[in-house]
Amino acid sequence: MKHYQKAIRLKTVGKSLHKITPKVEQIVTESNVKTGLCTIFVRHTSASLVIQENADPDVLTDLANFFAKLVPEDSMAYIHNAEGPDDMPAHIRSALTHTSEQIPISGGRLVLGIWQGIYLWEHRQRSHQREIVVHISGS
């Protein structure tokens, strides 16, 4: 079995979803793995990964709005607020989503559905430098 690993570094622009599908697809191509598994891991506790609708941006807006209501940024509601009122809500949002995703590889390509895209979800108000590790295994 072959293994290939590479990191994606991304500067976010504050709370938003960043499509990383093309970068992950490029790493899969570089790996020369035809059949296997792609594991994606974000090395942060206030950002997450989601596989979501890639055609209609309203889906991403609705997700962000729903999470804003589900986990409000209320500094009185949380003990941990050392880095500001968005800090603990960002940790909760990350816990409710994923810090890793696994996608099968077939024919040298990610086996995503036609409407699926991979996104880094920045949960903090300020921009951050984020690192995503992509690990490919297979043959």
Q: Kindly report, residue by residue over 42-66, the tens digit of the pLDDT.
A: 999 999 999 999 999 999 999 999 9
Please name each of the domains of the chain with its CATH number: 2-7+26-138 (2.60.120.460)
- Are the CB atoms for 137 and 34 separated by under 8 Å? no
| Amino acid occupying residue 119 | Y
Which pTM was predicted? 0.96
Residue 114 neighbours by CB distance under 10 Å: 6
pLDDT of 75 reads 77
